[in-house]
Amino acid sequence: MQQAIRFMLKTHEVYQKQKRKGKDIPYLSHPFTVGLILARVGASEELIIAGILHDTIEDSTEEKKVTREMLAERFGERVAELVQSVTEADRGMSWDARKQEALEHIDTFSHDSVLLKSADVIANNAELLEDCALHGDAVFERFSESKEKTLAHTQRVLTALRAKWPESPLTADLANMANLLSKI
């Protein structure tokens, strides 16, 4: 676990000084939150590690690119497989195409991938709800798409995750998040 935390810190903080979208909060708060959500529902250590590392491939710099192979070597094949399962395939695609592909990919998820993606979506949207309570719709200026389009996509993801594994320990949280997002 400590090795994963150090690796995540290097990727997001040391190499990039990455911040949360539109805020002066270190990015590393997000992977920690995802790991905590997974721990709360009794996830395995491998899955918690994948939660801590879940954005390292997608959000690493070209100069310090994190690869699936790198994760497999350091953390094992299962962790690498889980991180890869929730990584958007091609950041060069249009927003619509990228999000549609990611949404369709949920159909291929294992239960662990559903938990990992659910924890990520819950963490991101809990933060979004807090930001909306503080700043209103101005929050959506941080996004590349409109409020309506962003929220509609999120609702589709929440629905797909619940449909893929209705008995998931995070299903109630996903439903609650869908309800709260429908009110903003």
Structure tokens at 166: 């209705």
Structure tokens at 177: 């998040």
Cα–Cα dist 167/82, whole Å: 19
Catalytic residue selected from 13, 59, 81, 145: 59
Catalytic residue selected from 13, 24, 45, 58: 58
Residue 121: burial class (beta carbons within 10 Å; 0-12, 13-18, 19+) = buried
Task: Give the contacts of 150 (CB within 8 A, at least 6 positions apart).
Answer: 140, 143
127 is catalytic: no
Cα–Cα dist 118/114, whole Å: 6
CA distances from 105 to 95, 178, 182 (A): 15, 20, 24
Query: Between 45-53 and 68-75, two packed helices, what is the crossing angle to 10 degrees?
Result: 140
120 is catalytic: no
Catalogue the active-site residues: 58-59
